A and B are shown apart, each in its own frame.
Chain A
Amino acid sequence: MTAQNLISIALGLALVVYIGYRQSTWQNLTARSNWLMPAILGVVGLGLLVKSTPAAAFTAQGLGLLLLELALSLAIGVVMGVITRFRNVDGHVVDRRGQAIEWQTRTGWVGAALFFALIAVRIGIDVWAGSMGFGALVASTGAILLVIGANRLVRAGVIQLRLARHQELTGVGAA
Chain B
Amino acid sequence: MTFSSRAADAIARANMPRSGGRSWLFSVIWGAVYALGLASMFASTHRAPWVWLACAVGVIGWILRALIPDTMSRRQLAAELGMIVVGGLVAFEANVLGGVPLAVGLVLVIGRLERPVRAGVVAFVLAVAALGAGLLLTSSESRDLGGVIVGSLAMLIISALVGVSRRQVNAAELRLRELAEQRRRAERLDDHARVARELHDVLAHGLGALVVQLDAVDALLESGRVDEAAARVRSSRTLAVDGLRDARRAVDALRSDETDAAPVSPEAATAALAELIEAHRALGGAVEARLATPPRALPASTATALRRILQEALSNARKHAAGQPVAVELRRVPGARPSMAAAPVAPADHGRLVLEVTNPLGAAGAAAGTGGGHGLAGMEERVSEIAGAELRTGVEGAGTRFMVRVEVPA
Which residues does A use to contact B, with CB under 8 Å?
59-61, 63-72, 74-75, 78, 154, 158, 161
Contact = CB atoms under 8 A, between A and B. Distances in A.
Contact of A74 (B118, B125, B131, B138): B125
Contacts of B137: 64
Instruction: Tell me the interface secondary structure of chain A in the complex.
Output: helix
A135 to B, nearest CB: 13
B220 interface: no
Given A78-B121, A161-B117, A63 B135 contact: yes
Contacts of A70: 128, 132
Given A63-B149, A68-B133, A72-B129, 11 more contacts: A60-B135, A60-B136, A63-B135, A64-B133, A64-B135, A67-B135, A68-B128, A68-B129, A71-B125, A71-B129, A78-B122
A158 B140 CA distance: 37
B134 interface: yes
Interface of B: 92, 117-118, 121-122, 124-126, 128-129, 131-138, 140, 145, 149
Contacts of A154: 121
A65 B125 contact: no
A64 B132 contact: yes
A70 B128 CA distance: 7
Instruction: Tell me the interface secondary structure of chain B in the complex.
Output: helix
A158 B124 CA distance: 14
A66 B135 CA distance: 10
Contacts of A71: 125-126, 128-129, 132
Contacts of B133: 64, 68
Given A78-B121, A161-B117, A61 B136 contact: yes
Among B129, B131, B132, B133, the most chain A Cβ lie within 10 Å of the Cβ of B132
9 contacts: A64-B134, A64-B137, A65-B136, A68-B128, A68-B136, A74-B128, A78-B121, A78-B122, A154-B121
A156 B120 CA distance: 16
Contacts of B145: 60
Contacts of A75: 125
Given A67-B132, A70-B132, A161-B117, A61 B140 contact: yes
A154 B118 CA distance: 12
A74 B125 CA distance: 6
A74 B136 CA distance: 19
Nearest to A81: B121
Nearest to B129: A71
Nearest to B140: A60
Contact of A65 (B117, B124, B128, B132): B132
B272 to A, nearest CB: 49
B198 to A, nearest CB: 39
Contacts of A64: 131-138
For the complex of A and B, the 5 pairs showing the least CB-CB separation, nearest first, are: A64-B135, A67-B132, A71-B129, A68-B132, A64-B136
Given A71-B126, A74-B125, A78-B121, A60 B92 contact: yes
Contacts of A66: 132
Contacts of A158: 121
A71 to B, nearest CB: 3
B128 A67 contact: yes
